[in-house]
Structures are given as structure tokens and as C-alpha cells.
Structure 1
């Protein structure tokens, strides 16, 4: 869901497809490796990517669409600028997101 929210619309389908492909490839790889190594070794090797992803969570910004939906205008623009690049013009994409906010199905959490 996060990948679909932060990627530009021209890359959205491809990146979400690659994400799902990597999940399926990882499961298949673990199945094949599991026939050669013990279950403890397999479990320990599975911890490494999880730890790397956990550290990566500290670096990712909030979803601009979620911030816009919650009414956090300054944070919305800052997150969008961070995702698009420091020198990118975000006015067109920001306006498009603002128009689509009423149609977003993001659940509001309190």
C-alpha cells in the first residue's frame, strides 16, 4: 500500500508488481534453500532482511496522501518534496492529490 501511495502514477504499477514478484521469489528461494540447510539456519538467515527493513523504516517519510487526508498541509508538502527530489516542482502533483483526497479510502486512526 505504501509503495502505491508514494510512487508517481507512471511507475506505480511496475513498482507494486516488482514488490509482489520479490515476495514470491523470496518465498521460493527460502523453500529451495530449506531443502539444503537446517530450519534454524534458514530462520536465522531470514532475520537479516527483516532487520535491514526495520532499520529502513527509520528513513522513510509519511505518505503524502495520508498527510493531506489528515489535513497536515506543511508536512504533506515536505514529504512530497522529499519523495520527488529537492529541485522538483511538486505543485501539479500536490494539486492532483488535493483533488483526489475525498476519494481516498485511507482509514482514519485516532
Structure 2
């Protein structure tokens, strides 16, 4: 009985760490795809002064919202300091990623 309680306590934390780590990896992959989608692929003078693609901008915002949503839902379900900190960090990361893509658009020529 005690071993089962330990497993539930520590196993739950281990599962949570694996889930958050996996979601962070998925978020990074989606960030790379969003940065590529927002890149300016026109040739010539445009590579010196790139602009963010309109469809890519929508992709960047949607990716940030989708990535941060589970953390915000976790705050609604379990309101404690840890979940509030995780949600705050997730929202800040998605905002900084979007601002970074919008302020420093990438450019390359196909």
C-alpha cells in the first residue's frame, strides 16, 4: 500500500515532467515552422529589408496560443503557485517568440 502511494506521488510528478518536456519540444518545433512560414522569400532588394509574411504572422500567433493553452487550462483546474508560474512562463515565452519573429523577420531567396 505504501509503495503504491509512493508510485502515485512520484510517478505523477515524473509523468508531469515528461509531459511538460515533450510539450516544450513540440513548441520549439512549431516555433521553427512558424519562423519559416513568416520568412520573406522574395528575391532581390527584399532580402535587405525583409517583411513578415501575412499568412506566417497568423501561423505565429496561432502557434503561440495553441502552445500556451494547456498551461492556462492547468491553472483553471489546479490553481497553485506552480501552475500559475508555469502558465506565466508559457505565455511569456509565446509572446517573446512572436515579438522576436515580428521584429527580426528572416529572409532568404528561393
- Shorter-chain TM-score: which interval? 0.3 to 0.5
Structure with greater proportional helix content: 2
Q: Which has the higher contact order (CA 8 A, sep 6+)?
A: 2
Q: Structure 1-normalised TM-score?
A: 0.37
**TM-score, normalization by structure 2:** 0.37
